Amino acid sequence: MIDFELTAEEQAMIDSAHKESLEVIRPLARYYDEHEHESPKDLIARNWQQQAEGGGSGILGLGVGASLRILENCWGDAGLMLVAPGSGLGGAAILTSGTQEQQAKFLKRFGEGEPKWGAMAMTEPGAGSDTAAIQTMAVLDNETNEWVLNGEKIFITGGQRAMDESDGLVVVWATVDKTAGRAGMKPFVVEAGTPGAHIDKVENKLGIRASDTATLILDNCRIPYENILGSPEVRKVDPSQTAGFRRAMATFDATRPIIAAMALGVGRAALDFVKDVFEKEGIPIRYGLPRHELTAMERDIMDMEASYKAALMLMLRAVWMMSQFQPNSLEASMAKAKAGIVVSRITQKAVEMMGPLGYSRKNLLEKWMRDGKINDIFEGTGQINMLIVARRILDYTREQLK
Amino acid sequence: MISFSPSEDQQMIVNMVKEFVNDHARKVYRECDESGDIPANVIDTAWQLGFIASSIPEEFEGFGGERSALTGTLIAEELAWGDLSIAMHILCPALVATPVVEMGTEEQKRQYLPSFCGDQFKVATAALIEPSYNFNPASLQTTAKPDNGGYVINGEKCYVPLAADADLLLVYANESGNTQGFIVEKGTPGLEITEREKNMGIKALATYELSLKNCKVPKENRLGGDAGCDFGRIMNLSRVALCGMAVGVARAAFEYARDYAKERHAFGEPIASRQAIAFMLAEMAIDVDATRLMTWEAAWKLDRNEDATKEASLAKMYADDMVMSVTNNAVQVLGGHGYIRDHPVELWFRNGRGFATFDGMAIV
């Protein structure tokens, strides 16, 4: 039965996230945008406490309510939302690929002690969207039964907090056989404090500045054999069908709708800003009139609202399918691609419409335009997601559509 | 609890409509567009499926099914996927039946509804659009003024589907600043149906201009009696119907262009293997889906009897742009072949442009 009504529980979750965004997050947003590498310690402690009370939260298996809560969090501030401690994308990979023992061993820390972060390391200086081209090697030392990791990983969201500022972990994607392409790609858990693994650089960014984006150097980094997630076996069959790659992609199917939700949070912040200004000026937005009766401003706002709603619906569908355990690769990429475009367009248009109010750092609007853009880039650029959508609708392999 | 899964009943209805359009509408639609006529057997077959009678209560001789705007949008999408002219023709009687079921007085229901439940297609229609670029449904030029206990209607209307054969016309007019509906029966003095219109698209749908010159109707013919009608809701029911149809037309164009792009080879491989084409198709698929989901949400709200003006008008605005861009891209994917009438994409492109104009020409 098609239904758009939220449960009372979901609504309560959203309301409380909205209140927190308004009262706690928004007042901090500008400071941590202008003080890029500082940590909002009180906020982190508060998040950690909330998670302990709420029984923790992973990214996988998130339902409609949680996705809308994340949307509200990002309505507050996308950068500060990403700073929230927890197992993060690293946890998502451990949950999709790890055994019960590995999940127990690696995820336990996120429910106890001091705040900790989990991160995922995929991108390299020479491999972004083309993840099969990664060069980081994992070689098994048969004498010690350890994996030896060598390579350089960049653009790790929360990498510094995971490795330097807490007893966290990073899930590192490395190849056990460079000739095997995607089939050789495996995820490895590298815990904070492991010799040979160190954070080399933290990036200065356009937006989401509260969140650290780090480079991890792996220099003869030795980790126990058991830290590989999934099977070490390399099967040189159809590369897109290999378990290792499939797992990475399964993680994306879960995370992409969440990125869409994050994008929508920023987009709605900008939209609400514009509508608030109009309301204060006493200018109504008149729905239901023919286009020729509307002012240019009304048309712009309605276009923004309609495209926001379009992306919201695609996001909800992708999340709902995930919660029903239905395959959602196509729908997840549709949502991510659309939301990335929509948040960029809405925030850029809002800055334009608000003139001096929009461009000024006195207000947060210009910041949201900078923050929003990341959603069209990370967890697969808009173009990569379009490529995935195109392959799915055409029923094409990567060889048939490059 | 959020869900995107149609009910079993809805799925059954959708499958039934799919079968009808594949067996009938899709077999004749090009011929219909060229000739301007839809074969009677296609309309009769559709009538037997009971799209109109199904949501008329049993006490007025209907099937007494649950009235649902959401189910209506599902039907509208599938019918329009088959052919927009045929879809609008088949659903045309609803332009009278739906407002009477929802807002008619008991007397109006008793008088009119049974006639929609017979064996023969009941020709009934509505006249809303006026021949002016700045036509505004909420501020009509056509007027209805009190006259000897009844009303006298004056004005010009256009895009009135099936007007020449209609027994009943629901004419919308400006009554002291508000839009109200008046049931005008065939042959009422002052009602003059002029020539059949020639339009860029929906060429198989017979639409007419008509004029009302001192056309007198008794006060019992005012839709909803003294209470009048909720015109805002009628417009919203129309918007979601048109949104569903826009999704159907766009989906037809998308699917055709997708299949063509896989067949057509250039430079040694299918053109779909090039990102320039593949990304156009991906964008089309995304926007078709997004519009469908927005339409569902607006219709869902209408089914709960809530005001859906914002949702329905945003969905309609989005759908108007979407269907134009998707059908335009479909022509573009086919290149020169898209411009030739041997392929259907040019037809969908012409039909697609109409949605921004079709206010009130369909209803669920």
Q: Give the tens place of pLDDT for each residue, B266-313.
A: 999 999 999 999 999 999 999 999 999 999 999 999 999 999 999 999
On chain A, the residues whose CB falls within 8 A of the CB of B359 are 290
> For residue A100, what is the domain's CATH number?
2.40.110.10
In this complex, the residue of B4, B136, B286 whose CB is nearest that of residue A320 is B4
Region A209-219: mean pLDDT is: 98
Is A396's pLDDT higher than 90?
A: yes
Q: Do A53 and A163 share a domain, yes or no?
A: no
Question: Mean per-residue pLDDT for B50-58?
Answer: 95
Check if A260 contacts B (Cβ < 8 Å).
Answer: no
Q: Are A366 and A358 in contact (CB under 8 A)?
A: yes
Q: Closest residue of A to B71, CA-based?
A: A2
Q: Helices H, strands E: what count in chain A? A: 14, 7
Catalytic annotation, pick one of A124, A298, A331, A379: A379
pLDDT for residue A61 is more than 80: no
Per-residue pLDDT, A381? 94
What is the pLDDT averaged over residues A246-265?
Answer: 85
- The domain spans of chain B are 8-116, 124-227, 231-356
Tell me the average pLDDT across B325-339.
98
What is d(CA A203, CA A213) in angstroms, rounded to the nearest whole number?
A: 6
Nearest Cα residue in chain B from A310? B290
| pLDDT surpassing 60 at residue A265 | yes
Asked whether the domain spanning B231-356 has the same topology as the one spanning B124-227, the reply is no
According to DSSP, the β-strands at A197-202 and A137-141 are unpaired
Residue at a domain's end among A187, A212, A236:
A236
Banded pLDDT at A215 (limits 50, 70, 90): very high
Residue A173 near residue A189 (C-beta atoms within 8 A):
no
- What is the pLDDT averaged over residues B58-82? 96
**Residue B35: count of CB within 10 angstroms of its CB:** 12
Look up the CATH superfamily of B231-356. Answer: Butyryl-CoA Dehydrogenase, subunit A, domain 3 (1.20.140.10)
Q: What is the mean pLDDT of chain A?
A: 93
Residue type, A100: Q
Q: Domain B8-116, what fold? A: Butyryl-Coa Dehydrogenase, subunit A; domain 1 (1.10.540)
E-strand stretches of chain B: 124-127, 143-147, 150-161, 168-175, 178-185, 191-196, 207-217, 265-266, 269-270
Enumerate residues 6 to 25 of chain A having a beta carbon within 8 A of any beta carbon in chain B: 6-7
Burial class (CB in 10 A: 0-12, 13-18, 19+), A24: middle
Which DSSP helix (H) or strand (E) runs through B316? helix B309-334
Whose CA is closest to B51, among B85, B5, B8, B98?
A: B98
Contact residues on chain B for A393, CB-CB shorter than 8 A: 258, 281-282, 285
Q: Are residues A297 and A343 in the same domain?
A: yes
CATH number at residue A370: 1.20.140.10
- Is the confidence at residue A250, as pLDDT, over 80? no
Q: What is the DSSP-derived secondary structure letter of residue A22?
A: I
Q: How confident is the model at residue A199 (pLDDT cuts 50, 70, 90)?
A: very high
Co-location of A67 and A118 in the same domain = no
B91-129 tens-digit pLDDT? 999 999 999 999 999 999 999 999 999 999 999 999 999
Residue A240 has pLDDT above 60, yes or no: no
What's the pLDDT score for residue A182? 82
Q: Which residue is closest to A315 within chain B, CA to CA?
A: B290
Same domain, A184 and A169: yes
In a domain, A242, yes or no: yes
What pLDDT, on a 0 to 100 scale, did the predictor assign at position B271?
A: 98
In the residue annotation, A379 being an active-site residue is answered as yes
**Percentage of residues in chain B having pLDDT higher than 90:** 99
For chain B, what percent of residues have pLDDT higher than 70?
100
Mean pLDDT of A274-302: 96
Q: In angstroms, what separates the C-alpha of B93 from chain A's closest C-alpha?
A: 24
Instruction: Looking at the structure, tell me whether residues A224 and A106 fall in a common domain.
Output: yes
Same domain, A258 and A384: yes
Asked whether this complex has an ipTM greater than 0.90, the answer is yes
Q: Which of B2, B279, B282 sits opposite A64 (nearest CB)?
A: B2
A2 with B70: Cβ contact below 8 A: yes
Return residues 338-357 of B near A (CB < 8 Å). Answer: 356
Stronger pLDDT, A239 or A171, i.e. the higher one? A171
Q: How many residues does chain B have?
A: 364
Indicate if the pLDDT at residue A238 is higher than 70. no
Q: Which of residues 11-50 of B touch A (CB under 8 A)?
A: none
pLDDT for res A254: 83
Q: Does A2 touch chain B (CB under 8 A)?
A: yes
**A88 within domain boundaries:** no
Mean pLDDT of A157-173: 97
Q: CATH class for domain B124-227? A: mainly beta
The confidence band for B321, taking pLDDT boundaries of 50, 70 and 90, is: very high
A64 at B interface, C-beta within 8 A:
yes
Judge if A101 and A228 occupy the same domain. Answer: yes
pLDDT the model gives residue A317 = 98
pLDDT at A230: 86
Q: Which tokens sit at B29?
A: 């639609």
pLDDT digits (tens, 9 = 90+) for B126-158: 999 999 999 999 999 999 999 999 999 999 999
**Do A272 and A391 fall within a single domain?**
yes
Q: Percent of chain A scored above 90 by pLDDT? A: 82
Task: Tell me how many domains chain A contains.
Answer: 2
Which amino acid belongs to residue B76? Answer: A
Same structural domain for residues A263 and A399? yes
CA distance B55 to B303: 13
Give the pLDDT band of residue A244 (cuts 50, 70, 90).
Answer: low
Residue A304 pLDDT greater than 90, yes or no: yes
Whether residue A386 is found in the same domain as residue A260: yes
The answer on pLDDT for A139 being more than 80 is yes
Q: Is A129 on the interface with B (CB under 8 A)?
A: no
One domain for residues A212 and A272 = no
Please say if the pLDDT value at position A241 is more than 80.
Answer: no
Query: Sign of the CA dihedral B282, B285, B291, B297?
Result: negative
Last residue of a domain, which of A236, A255, A276? A236
A305, A390, A400 member nearest B282 (Cβ): A390
Distance from CA of B81 to the nearest CA of A (A): 18
pLDDT on residue B67: 92
Domain of A108 in residue numbering reads as 94-236
| Interface contact B134, partner A, CB < 8 A | yes
Are A264 and A387 in a shared domain?
A: yes
Find all residues with CB under 8 Å of B245, minimum gap 6, and list them: B76, B77, B79, B80, B84, B87, B88, B355, B362
**What's the pLDDT at A245?**
62
**To probe the interface with A, which of B230, B289, B296 has the most A CB atoms within 10 Å?**
B289
Which one of A236, A268, A284 terminates a domain?
Answer: A236
**Using 50, 70 and 90 to split pLDDT, how confident is the model at A235?**
low
pLDDT at B258: 98
